[in-house]
Amino acid sequence: ALRWASGRAPSRGLRASPRARIAMPSWVIDRYGSNEVLRFTRDMMLPIIHFPNEVIIKVHAASLNPIDLSMRSGYGATALNMKRDPLKLKSDETEFPLTLGRDVSGVVMECGLAVSYFKPGDEVWAAIPPWKQGTLSEFVVASGNEVSFKPKCLSHTEAAALPYVGLTAWSALKQVGGLNQSNCSGKRILILGASGGVGTFAVQLMKAWNAHVTAVCSHDASTLVEKLGADDVIDYKTGNLEEKLKTLPLFDFILDNVGGSTEKWALDLLKKWSGATYVTLVTPFLINMDRLGVADGMLQTGVTVGSKTLKHLLKGVHYRWAFFMPSGPTLDEIAELVDSGKIQPVIDEVFSFSEVPKAFLKLEGGHARGKTVINVISKQ
């Protein structure tokens, strides 16, 4: 306990250091549901460093992603709770109060003993994994290997628009799809759902790597996607999209941000027996675990992806699933592309911290043109 030189404890209300503070403002949910479950509180416990490789970040800006909408409604709760407490050590067996938000741009406030790459005061950005407490708070804790120095050319508001979608697109295109700067030149890439957060990032990354990009979006987003560098822009709302795409030369790679019935015909647009690959970000992995439980859900998922992979391999194309993967080193590479002017954030709308429910409603309305950003600190 803190003591004065006289040996007496400090008087009530006197704080000897900032560490005396134990609560912070945050947007949380106490149950799953629609927008009414969002609750603002000033009494969320401050995050603390549990492991020596962790850092605490003061959040300047955050942003919303479709996964935040899904998690608000309970999507993935079975798998995420298993990840949060794999040994079932918590007696209360609840994830609530739960803070949503995956993206953060802010300033390092405190570092664990094993963190040597960052120091308090560093401006950083990160995407926090969905099993951890999120970024719609004054502070958030992250592993040092999830964090990267913020691009110097971006404000916190701009930077908060990129980490989650950038890492998701990077996972799909490079880590799962095998594309990179040295093998993309001249390749024909089709991006389905090109005007959302992942799509706008993917278009820019593929153009930075000198690929030929065909982007599918609605007509009112075509100007945006063209400005990002897409070579061909197809409006999915006019005419039969499948027939339109069949009139074009075959593709080397397809990134599917849409899912649904698209998967039934999209793989026919690939060049057969050439290593052409289809990667989808719309998978039943977490849904299976929610519906069937952990063991049966994982089994069903394995059977599904295995059968689809084999089916399409016999037809001469590769079928893959991709997922968001947190990675500070990957964000380092993305930051270099941003600072060199090859990738820019695409922001649909910016909200203040008091307007988080309104921001969720905006995202819920669909047809986003880039990202929905939250300024946690008003002046950025």
Task: Give the separation between CA 204 and CA 372, rounded to whole angstroms.
Answer: 19
What value does the mean pLDDT of the chain take? 92
The pTM assigned to this predicted structure is: 0.92
CB 127 within 8 A of CB 102: yes
Task: Give the separation between CA 54 and CA 342, rounded to whole angstroms.
Answer: 31
pLDDT at 4: 39
- For strand 371-375 and strand 54-64, is the pairing parallel, antiparallel, or unpaired? antiparallel
Q: Which bin fits 366, alpha (ψ -120 to 50), beta or left (φ > 0)? A: left
CB 1 within 8 A of CB 20: no
pLDDT at 15: 38
C-alpha dihedral (153, 156, 159, 164), degrees to nearest 10 = 160
CB 121 within 8 A of CB 149: no
Q: Where are the alpha helices (DSSP H) in the chain?
A: 66-72, 77-84, 156-159, 163-170, 197-208, 222-227, 241-246, 262-266, 285-292, 294-313, 328-339, 356-364
Task: State which amino acid sits at residue 185.
Answer: S
Task: Give the separation between CA 159 and CA 24, rounded to whole angstroms.
Answer: 23
Task: Give the separation between CA 35 and CA 19, rounded to whole angstroms.
Answer: 33
With b for 16 or more beta-carbon neighbours within 10 A and e for fewer, the 301-336 pattern comes to beeebeebeeebeeeebbbbbbebebbbebbeebbe
Task: Give the separation between CA 255 and CA 262, rounded to whole angstroms.
Answer: 11
Structure tokens that stand for 341 in this block: 């002017």
Q: Dihedrals φ, ψ of 189, to 5°?
A: -115, 130
CB 280 within 8 A of CB 263: yes
User: What tens-digit pLDDT sequence spans the chain (380 residues)?
Assistant: 333 344 444 433 333 444 567 999 999 999 999 999 999 999 999 999 999 999 999 999 999 999 999 999 999 999 999 999 887 777 666 899 999 999 999 999 999 999 999 999 999 999 999 999 999 999 999 999 999 999 999 999 999 999 999 999 999 999 999 999 999 999 999 999 999 999 999 999 999 999 999 999 999 999 999 999 999 999 998 889 999 999 999 999 999 999 999 999 999 999 999 999 999 999 998 898 889 988 999 999 999 999 999 999 999 999 999 999 999 999 999 999 999 999 999 999 999 999 999 999 999 998 878 999 999 997 65
pLDDT at 203: 98
pLDDT at 92: 67
Q: Domains, the chain, ranges and CATH?
A: 23-164+345-375 (3.90.180.10), 177-321 (3.40.50.720)
Reported as a single tens digit per residue, the pLDDT across 188-238 is 999 999 999 999 999 999 999 999 999 999 999 999 999 999 999 999 988
